[in-house]
Amino acid sequence: MKIVVATDKPFAKVAVDGIRKETEAAGYELVLLEKYGEKAKLLEAVADADAIIIRSDIIDAEVFDAARQLKIVVRAGAGVDNVDLQAATAHNVCVMNTPGQNSNAVAELAFGLMVMAVRNMYNGTSGTELKGKKLGIHAYGNVGRNVARVAKGFGMDIYAYDAFCPKEVIEADGVKAVASAEELYSTCDVVSLHIPATAETKNSINHALVGRMPKGGLLVNTARKEVIDEAGLIRLMEERPDLKYMTDIMPAANEEFASKFPGRYFSTPKKMGAQTAEANINAGIAAARQIVGFLKDGCEKFRVNKK
């Protein structure tokens, strides 16, 4: 069996070593394809692969067509918006993610971005503190829960909205559950986004919604760029010089944001939320174990596509 680790944004070496140990102990061959850049190299590498471990790498119908022996793809991480799940099912390939394994890393980065924003991008001027501010967690999944845990240490007043998570689950963590996204944005000084990119959420963070935020509002995005209505947010930030936007996913209109909103807009050059040794080890080794469990025992826990 051949396992290909296809990561355009590589894991930390220690994580690759762990993945190798797991797969070789199972008697499988490991092939590493990092920083491949062009899709052609990915297509070539997967031609005789039985399993693939990926991160945000795009696995579309063309990749499934090229990977004739493929049985399983594991996205080492949470979001599976980069994988064509229908094509996977059509090709009889199982797709899994590794939920929760990189969530703490993403949550910590959300606070890194928050502190940077309220301290005026570390420009030497007097900023503000997070303590006592109202934090809105938009979607209470694995990352949202970690954000709530860290926010308690900062002494923030914590709110959350999640269309699918029961109110009781949110409130058991000492977080105030609100009934709608509108209420969350109207209430909170800082909103941290943790919604997945789906057909329903695409462009849903728009002018009307963010426009509800109180004066001095800060939007932090460690989720996906697709959920933002970029034109609407740009228009809003032009109208509201008090608003700030910090993102770990560079917008398509990065240059426009950067030139129009100096001092109140920042994007990391490359998505860094899950880019820690710990998250790479946790998600990478979980992916390797899930592949071994699937190939040896048919275990389909964490499968995300239909059969």
Contact between 167 and ligand 3PG (CB under 6 A)?
A: no
List Cα–Cα distances, 36 to 55, 138, 144, 188, 193, in angstroms: 13, 34, 32, 42, 30
Contact between 264 and ligand 3PG (CB under 6 A)?
A: no
| Cβ-based neighbour number of residue 61 at 10 Å | 13
Residues in the chain: 307
110 vs 156, which CB is nearer to ligand 3PG?
A: 110
Q: Which residues ranging from 123 to 162 are in contact with ligand 3PG (CB under 6 A)?
A: none
Q: Which residues ranging from 38 to 57 are in contact with ligand 3PG (CB under 6 A)?
A: 55-56
**At closest approach, how far in Å is the CB of 79 from ligand 3PG?**
3
Rounded-to-integer distance, Cα 77 and Cα 54, Å = 9
Rounded-to-integer distance, Cα 235 and Cα 237, Å = 6
Q: Which residues ranging from 67 to 96 are in contact with ligand 3PG (CB under 6 A)?
A: 77-79
| Cβ-based neighbour number of residue 50 at 10 Å | 18
**At closest approach, how far in Å is the CB of 88 from ligand 3PG?**
17
187 vs 201, which CB is nearer to ligand 3PG?
A: 201
56 vs 187, which CB is nearer to ligand 3PG?
A: 56
Contact between 274 and ligand 3PG (CB under 6 A)?
A: yes
Instruction: Tally the C-alpha atoms within 13 A of residue 283's C-alpha that lie toward its C-beta.
Output: 34
Among 67, 62, 152, smallest CA distance to 107 is for 152
Is the Cβ–Cβ distance between 175 and 148 less than 8 Å?
A: yes
- In the bound complex, which residue of the shown chain has the CB atom lying closest to ligand 3PG? 77
Of 25-33, 170-178, 213-221, 266-274, the segment contacting ligand 3PG by CB under 6 A is 266-274
Q: By rule CB under 6 A, what string of x and - marks binding of each residue 101-120 to ligand 3PG?
A: -x------------------
Q: Are strands 190-193 and 157-161 parallel, antiparallel or unpaired?
A: unpaired
Which residues sit at the interface with ligand 3PG, rule CB under 6 A? 9, 55-56, 77-79, 102, 271, 273-275
